[in-house]
Chains A and B, each alone.
Chain A
Amino acid sequence: MTANRQKGNMKAHNAQCTCWNCPAIDLTGKVDFRACGQSREVFTEGLDEDSEAYIVAECKRRKELGLFDPMTITFEECPEWKSTPYGYLLKNMRVMILGIDGYLGWTLALWLGSLGCEVSGVDNFSRRDWVKERGAHTVVPISRMTERLHAAKEVLGININFRQMDILKERDKLREFIEEVKPEAIVHYGECPSAPYSMIDIDHATFVQQNNVLGTLGLLFTMRDLVPESSLIKLGTMGEYGTPLTGRPLFEGVFPANAVLHWDDREWSLGGELTPRDPVSFYHVSKVQDTYNVYEACKYWWLRSYDVMQGVIYGVNTPQVATDTRLRTRLDIDEWFGTVINRFVAQAVIGFPLTMYGAGEQIRGFIGLEDAMQCMTQLIAHPPEPGQYDVVNQMSGFYSINHLAHTVAKVASRDFAIPVTIQRVENPRVESDIHPFEPIYNKLPDQFGFKPQVTLEGEIYRMLELLTQPHIKQRIEEKKHLILPRTWWSGIKKQVETLEVLEEIKYEPSSTTYRP
């Protein structure tokens, strides 16, 4: 391996995976998933290699192989798995995206479509409705779904099989669609992704929890019945962990084996136990409940899932969405659906002081849009083993809010000649403004070949390029009254007040200052 690495000729991260990981096989023989191997009392004397007591594989794509040992063929050897920059990928892999109309769902659909996947997806357009309900809009205009599908076909040659439905309220429809498509991987983006939205009032809190938790629970039962061999890539969030003040590392969902509990002169390995969660809103609680439901489903039914704890996402760019204005993905900047970097860039563009909540020393993990797409592809390419539940922390770095504000100010001022002011406002959330933060995020780079490509300054530059276009700038102006937060965790009803305005930040223009 070392020699290969030196030659820059590293094997793909999934080259050595076998049919045991592959969604294209049916397992037959003694697939004892109900017992989950907990009970092996019956002494099976006289087992031989042909016995039905063994698990054997039958390939749905290569029927000619007959019944065989699922550990014998690797992805590297199988002609159905084709080499791509993100590892071997199943030829015409059928990937279903729940929430395909959203910021991430649409971006991933085009990304996977351009890699040759057969993409299908569902959405009930609720993200459009929620944003509209708050009186806001996406500042990057997006097309209606019919137009999007048409443009994907026309510009990129990608056919997307789309079906409109609510996965919570129309479970039968989801069943039908899954039965019809038989997806080999399901990416679950179909949840309400906003902490402040869940904190507006009791109606919003119950809506978010029902929609997210029960929607996912229904999906798990459907997968059990129809596609237990398919992998579920489930979106969670780093916010499930919160920022515990003990300062202990934020492991990737479960404790590693060398994490030890010392008590009363004895020690135990905590290896494999779910780490404590400390969610930071009722939305985050819904994600924690999802984590437990998915974990249990894998345990009870041999479902296979990666639970992705995604850092705060930012950015507007992938090669596909940038091809045509009709293919653009949404970008929200309102207090409910705008993530922090996206919002800061929009604020900078219209000369609205960047708003840090409280001390501005809160630290979070972040990941650029394009890097998130890379990770998702690498996870899809490396399906978990039967019954395997694993968690990855999907982020490429961590920064304080203060650092982010200053970075946006620096790029805007230096490369776009836009002077930026930063202000501190009251923090409407219940959180520690200053806290320790030690996330562990090794699995994606170490086991899945993730190499971050997006740099913070680089992506902020690309966002500024797009957001300074007059028609988009105009759309930001129209909704600037929705930037300052009004949703207090405490329930008080008022807009936050400014605590302090920092000095204007002005960098000398760079020689390559952008002039639209």
Chain B
Amino acid sequence: MSQVLRLTDRNFEEEVFQSQIPVLVEFSASWCVPSQQMKPMLEAVAKEYAGKLKLGNLNVDQNPKTASQYHIMGCPTFILLNSGKAISRRVGAQSKKQLLEMISLT
């Protein structure tokens, strides 16, 4: 089972805005080669931070509403949200160190 939650326009409100813990969302796409390469690392981070941080992935082509609300202009884009509020944003593939730096902002 994937540790990274599949986010959609439909469940975004519940899974992200109403989440009790911070959420790191990856906006990705099937055609995005860096997004595909991020998968194993995100799974590992999700496992490592289970209970403390939620990791979610949103396909921008399948979920245009959320993607446009966040003005996604390139993939992958990572947005860290706490109580529904975006506190950090990065575009492009991230090394594990960079991801953990981002997470440490919570």
Contact = CB atoms under 8 A, between A and B. Distances in A.
A and B are partners in one complex rather than unrelated chains: yes
Interface of A: 1, 20, 30-32, 36-44, 47, 49, 53-55, 70-71, 254-258, 260, 267-273, 298-299, 302, 384-390
Contacts of A256: 37, 40-41
Given A40-B72, A254-B33, A302-B31, A267 B97 contact: yes
A267 B64 contact: no
Contacts of B68: 40-44
B93 A47 contact: no
B36 A388 contact: yes
B38 A40 contact: no
Closest 10 CB pairs between A and B? A387-B31, A272-B34, A385-B30, A271-B93, A269-B95, A272-B33, A271-B37, A269-B93, A47-B65, A272-B37
B41 A386 contact: no
B72 A269 contact: no
B68 to A, nearest CB: 5
B73 A38 contact: yes
A71 B7 CA distance: 12
B19 interface: no
B9 A47 contact: yes
Interface string B1-40: 1000010011000000000000000000111111111101
Contacts of B67: 37, 40
A265 B38 CA distance: 23
Contact of B65 (A44, A271, A302, A384): A44
B4 to A, nearest CB: 13
Contacts of A53: 64-65
A389 B41 CA distance: 19
Nearest to A44: B68
Nearest to A446: B40
Contacts of A40: 60, 64, 67-68, 71-73
A298 B31 contact: yes
Contacts of A44: 64-65, 68
A258 B71 contact: no
Contact of A47 (B29, B33, B64): B64
A387 B64 contact: no
B62 A54 contact: yes
B104 interface: no
A169 B36 CA distance: 36
Contacts of B64: 30, 32, 40, 44, 47, 53-54
A258 B98 CA distance: 10
A298 B97 CA distance: 30
9 contacts: A37-B67, A41-B71, A54-B62, A257-B34, A257-B38, A271-B37, A272-B35, A389-B33, A390-B33
Nearest to B34: A272
Interface in B35-68: 35-38, 40-41, 60-62, 64-65, 67-68
B75 interface: yes
A267 B98 contact: yes
Contacts of A70: 62
Contacts of A267: 95, 97-98
Contacts of A37: 29, 31-32, 60-61, 67, 72, 75
Contacts of A388: 30-31, 36
Nearest to A21: B30
Interface string B68-95: 1101111100000000000000001111
Contacts of A257: 34, 37-38, 40-41, 93-96
Nearest to A70: B62
Q: Which of A41, A44, A257, A390 has the most B CB atoms < 10 Å from its CB?
A: A257
Contacts of A1: 1
Contacts of A55: 61-62
